[in-house]
Amino acid sequence: MALDELKIGGMGASRRRVEDNRFIRGKGKYIDDVVLPAMLHMEILRSPVAHARIKSIDTSAAWEVPGVRLVLTGETMAARNLAWMPTLSYDTQAVIATDKVRFQGQEVAAVVADDPYIAKDACSKIVVEYEQLPAIVNPDQAKDSSAPLIRDDKVNQDSNKIFDWEIGDKEATERAFADADVVSSLELHYPRSHPSPLEPCGSIADFDRATGKLTVYMTTQAPHIIRAAVAMVAELPEHQIRIISPDLGGGFGNKVPVYPGYVISILASILTERPVKWIEDKSGNLISTGFGRDVYLKGEMALRKDGKILGMRMHTTSDHGAFFADAQPTKFKIGLMHSTFACYDVPAAYLTSDGYYTNKAPGGVAYRCSFRVTEAMFFQERMIHAAANDLGMDQAEFRRVNLVKDDAFPYRTAFGFLTDSGQYAKCLDLGLEAIGYSSFKAEQEEARKRGKLLGIGISTMTEPLGAGNSREYDIIGIKMFDSAELRVHMTGKAILRTGAKTQGQGHETTWAQIVAHELGIPADDIVVEEGDTDTAPFGMGTYASRSTPVAGAAVAMVSRKIRAKARKIAAHLLEVSEEDIEWELGRFYVRGNEERGVTIQDCALAAYSNVPDGMEPGLENNAYYDPPNLTWPFAAYICKVEVDPETGVWDVLKFVAVDDCGVRINPMVVEGQIMGGLTEAYAMANMQYITFDEEGNCIGANYIDYLLPTAWETPGFELHEVVTPCPHHPIGAKGIGECATVGGPAAFVNAVMSAIEHTGVRNVDMPLMPNRVYDAVRNGQDVSGMPPVRVE
């Protein structure tokens, strides 16, 4: 009589995404679809130059444009102590520039008007006089003793350096190098990249002076954090602030930080006493919101002749732009960079890093990665590739020798993380089999006869997903856990709310499946709501693929609380003691008498009509979940490419992905996450180029130059799965949302390198555009992508 879990849309069902019903009909409700009565519109004037002192701003002509209601400058903000705001990395960021502009695209003024076109026209009437200063566009320039001081607004800041940081065991690592037979080294730059969600950022601030309530519709992945931040920055009482994050047209990390536009629209609404809408345009999003990466990585590996890794030392230098606004909740200066090499048995490791201010938009947004994990895994897999070559060892064999073994879990990494579970070698072998690794050498020979260069690239990695736990992770002091609230109605239908916020991952579909699994209520009978701080339980939002590991766990736990109460009601209805009650999916029955039972829906009805004496009526509850550890999914990505040495163009012949994210709630959604992530990885490896010239002009600041991959150029991906349940998660699930973006790029780059390294090339920096690959093959030399670039 137990229900068929797949039929009710429980765990493991590839249930169709319920949110797509509105999305594909064009009925999603995104920020720009929200229209409030008497709403005004705001536009932002951005700096055309990267580094300059503001000598004067004349806004008089803008005020005269009919329909203009308000013009805001740094002075307006400063008068209310809002010219600067705190960042998530304990730095400050200018909301509207007062003294200087520090990157091209920085906010210089804002106009509020009856419609967005008037506001934009009026922006063009604002006259700003700039006194240009030399621009700094990479850490090398920032370090130079003659470099201008970018952050002269900060007391005690006498250089452009932001931090120094180190972790690991220096002495043990030095001993490993003393014992090494071979030392392999590599140096590279992971270029800036931009998450570029389809929908840019925006907000609608609505301050009601009569009630004192501030409602803000905002494109944010973390509404509760925003509420706390607004309460602190604007000094408004928290219960009078309501943040609503509507449907998001993608986030990819871009919608984690607090951007100046949000803050300006809030002040504009307070001043005008009308709702004020700000919708960023695509270029504004591309040049001024958080960039990812921009890290210089170098490392050395100590190796024994037989292929065993003895030790690793690494140095990273990160370029943070003008404000240290990294969206990352770890106490570590460079995020989780030290998760690097976590899937390998590396006895000793030592990492040093430093970070610099430059005249670029803030960097360090975690673009689909847990805070620098993408850079960590990219470097790891490029280093592994180089080391195998230096040893003259097969790429797969070298990995097999060093991957953490199945029976070694929980495994303590050299940098102190505790990885939870995995079957690494199994994933690798499955991938090798699928790509046809054993016949590759012959294929490569054959292709050379045709004048084509074949390459195969492997990327194997585990990554930390799911921040918290609260012991180690916090955002501005708020501890990292998450929550779920479940209300089962009288008819057995239910509403579930969590503290996470879907941006496209499909929470409305998958959370209902967890409830269906735990309670046997069909997934279609459960509606999922997120993103409104007045109704959702407090949570830390969605990033670091933490939703399944943390909020998803809370969904399971609250369902179990509901089941525990329903069991008591069942005992009452069946007139037996609770100990005599058995559970099967969707139903309680009397032990030894399976026929006598009540469904979960019967219990729901009774909860509101017939509870035992002394029991509170109702069937609702909430759960706050503080995970004991991060979850550690594993992936083996293997790519086969063909390079045309005459043009530098490379094509992906085959791409195989083997992912182990523990128990899969919805296999189709998981596969969608992997395909989307690999598409982004491919774009970064192949075509996405956004950089800076000597004057700090952002090159690639539009979608003609900064390419988003379409179905046309994106290769097909062959997906395979391995399931190693997460030992500490209530349903055995690990995160998956970022794995492919994190692990994917190295597979593409290693493949191209494998095709061309016989020419003596060791590294070509991403993106591997045809001209770079062509130059590398032609000259047998490495190609660096570090800015500034020269433009004619």
67 binds, among ligand MCN, ligand CUN, none (CB under 5 to 8 A by kind): none
- At position 66, the amino acid (one-letter code) is P
669 touches ligand MCN (CB under 6 A): yes
Nearer to ligand CUN by Cβ, of 329 and 537: the residue is: 329
* In the complex, minimum distance from the CB of residue 711 to ligand CUN, in angstroms, rounded to a whole number: 23
673 binds, among ligand MCN, ligand CUN, none (CB under 5 to 8 A by kind): ligand MCN
Polymer length in residues for the chain? 792
46, 515, 557, 566 from 563: Cα distances, Å: 55, 10, 10, 5
Whether 496 and 555 have beta carbons less than 8 Å apart is answered as: yes
The question of whether 221 is a catalytic residue gets the answer yes
Tokens linked to 175: 């001993």
- Total residues contacting ligand MCN by CB under 6 A comes to 35
* In the complex, minimum distance from the CB of residue 672 to ligand MCN, in angstroms, rounded to a whole number: 7
Nearer to ligand CUN by Cβ, of 359 and 370: the residue is: 370
678 touches ligand MCN (CB under 6 A): no
CA quadruple 137, 143, 144, 148: dihedral, nearest 10:
60
Tokens linked to 687: 């075509």
Angle at 294 between CA 290 and CA 295, to 5 degrees: 135
What are the residues whose beta carbons fall under 8 Å from the beta carbon of 221, sequence distance 6 or more?
245, 248, 251, 253, 255, 256, 501, 503, 541, 542, 543
Applying CB under 6 A, which part among 313-321, 505-513, 603-611, 682-690 lies near ligand MCN?
505-513
250 binds, among ligand CUN, ligand MCN, none (CB under 5 to 8 A by kind): ligand MCN
The question of whether 738 is a catalytic residue gets the answer yes
38, 42, 96, 271, 605 from 71: Cα distances, Å: 18, 9, 12, 11, 57
* In the complex, minimum distance from the CB of residue 30 to ligand MCN, in angstroms, rounded to a whole number: 13
27, 246, 247 from 33: Cα distances, Å: 9, 9, 10
Q: Choose the catalytic residue: 201, 343, 369, 603.
A: 369
* In the complex, minimum distance from the CB of residue 292 to ligand CUN, in angstroms, rounded to a whole number: 8
Of 422, 715, 735, 767, the one binding ligand MCN by CB under 6 A: 735
Sheet strands (E) in 499-649: 526-529, 581-584, 587-590, 593-599, 620-625, 634-643
256 binds, among ligand CUN, ligand MCN, none (CB under 5 to 8 A by kind): ligand CUN
Q: Choose the catalytic residue: 15, 738, 739, 762.
A: 738
Nearer to ligand CUN by Cβ, of 599 and 629: the residue is: 629
CB atoms within 10 A of CB 634: 30
| Beta bridge partners of residue 598, listed in sequence order | 588
Nearer to ligand CUN by Cβ, of 362 and 457: the residue is: 362
Nearer to ligand CUN by Cβ, of 108 and 540: the residue is: 540
Contact string 527-556 vs ligand MCN (x = CB under 6 A) = ---------------xxxxxxx--------
3-state secondary structure of 182: strand
Instruction: Match 């069937």 to its residue by tokens.
Output: 619
Q: Choose the catalytic residue: 93, 106, 141, 221.
A: 221
Which runs of consecutive H residues, i.e. helices, occur in 234-366?
260-272, 282-288
Nearer to ligand MCN by Cβ, of 353 and 509: the residue is: 509
601 touches ligand MCN (CB under 6 A): no
* In the complex, minimum distance from the CB of residue 192 to ligand CUN, in angstroms, rounded to a whole number: 15
Phi/psi-derived region of residue 541, left when phi > 0, alpha when psi is between -120 and 50, beta in every other case: left
Of 93, 203, 505, 679, the one binding ligand MCN by CB under 6 A: 505
* In the complex, minimum distance from the CB of residue 470 to ligand MCN, in angstroms, rounded to a whole number: 17
- At position 251, the amino acid (one-letter code) is G
* In the complex, minimum distance from the CB of residue 582 to ligand CUN, in angstroms, rounded to a whole number: 42
* In the complex, minimum distance from the CB of residue 437 to ligand CUN, in angstroms, rounded to a whole number: 31
* In the complex, minimum distance from the CB of residue 221 to ligand CUN, in angstroms, rounded to a whole number: 5
Nearer to ligand MCN by Cβ, of 391 and 551: the residue is: 551
Query: What strands lie across the sheet with 482-488, from one edge to the other?
Result: 526-529, 494-498, 482-488, 620-625
20, 35, 117, 470, 626 from 30: Cα distances, Å: 14, 11, 20, 32, 31
The question of whether 620 is a catalytic residue gets the answer no
* In the complex, minimum distance from the CB of residue 325 to ligand MCN, in angstroms, rounded to a whole number: 17
What are the residues whose beta carbons fall under 8 Å from the beta carbon of 738, sequence distance 6 or more?
368, 369, 370, 373, 374, 463, 465, 544, 545, 677
Interface positions, 171-210, toward ligand MCN (CB under 6 A): 197
- At position 191, the amino acid (one-letter code) is P
CA distance 681 to 689: 13
Nearer to ligand CUN by Cβ, of 327 and 523: the residue is: 327
Q: For 764, phi and psi rounded to 5 degrees? A: -125, 125
339 touches ligand MCN (CB under 6 A): no
Nearer to ligand CUN by Cβ, of 256 and 435: the residue is: 256
250 touches ligand MCN (CB under 6 A): yes
507 touches ligand MCN (CB under 6 A): yes
Phi/psi-derived region of residue 544, left when phi > 0, alpha when psi is between -120 and 50, beta in every other case: left
Nearer to ligand CUN by Cβ, of 11 and 256: the residue is: 256
Nearer to ligand MCN by Cβ, of 598 and 665: the residue is: 665
Nearer to ligand CUN by Cβ, of 293 and 360: the residue is: 293
Contact string 346-375 vs ligand MCN (x = CB under 6 A) = ----------------------x-------
Applying CB under 6 A, which part among 262-270, 371-379, 401-409, 499-507 lies near ligand MCN?
499-507
| Beta bridge partners of residue 202, listed in sequence order | 279
34 binds, among ligand CUN, ligand MCN, none (CB under 5 to 8 A by kind): none
* In the complex, minimum distance from the CB of residue 662 to ligand MCN, in angstroms, rounded to a whole number: 5
CA distance 85 to 487: 38
506 touches ligand MCN (CB under 6 A): yes
Taking alpha carbons only, the member of 425, 418, 366 closest to residue 636 is 425
Per residue, the 3-state secondary structure of 69-95, as one string, reads: EEEEEHHHHHHCCCCEEECCCCCEEEC
CA distance 410 to 724: 13
3-state secondary structure of 293: strand
* In the complex, minimum distance from the CB of residue 786 to ligand CUN, in angstroms, rounded to a whole number: 24
Pairing assessment for the beta strands 84-86 and 92-94 based on DSSP bridges: antiparallel
510 touches ligand MCN (CB under 6 A): yes
CA distance 233 to 613: 49
Nearer to ligand CUN by Cβ, of 370 and 419: the residue is: 370
787 binds, among ligand CUN, ligand MCN, none (CB under 5 to 8 A by kind): none
673 touches ligand MCN (CB under 6 A): yes
Q: For 181, phi and psi rounded to 5 degrees? A: -85, -35
Q: Choose the catalytic residue: 69, 368, 664, 772.
A: 368
Query: How many CA atoms, within 13 angstroms, populate the side-chain half-sphere of residue 631?
Result: 35
3-state secondary structure of 385: helix
Binding-site ranges for ligand CUN (CB under 6 A): 221, 251-253, 256, 366-370, 543-544, 738
* In the complex, minimum distance from the CB of residue 368 to ligand MCN, in angstroms, rounded to a whole number: 4
Whether the link from the prior residue into 261 is cis, omega within 30° of 0, is no
The question of whether 69 is a catalytic residue gets the answer no
243 touches ligand MCN (CB under 6 A): no
640 binds, among ligand CUN, ligand MCN, none (CB under 5 to 8 A by kind): none
CA distance 509 to 507: 5
Applying CB under 6 A, which part among 102-110, 345-353, 419-427, 498-506 lies near ligand MCN?
498-506
Which residues does the annotation mark as catalytic? 221, 368-369, 738
Instruction: Give the residues lining the site for ligand MCN (CB under 6 A).
Output: 197, 250-253, 368, 503-507, 510, 542-548, 661-666, 669-670, 673, 676, 733-738
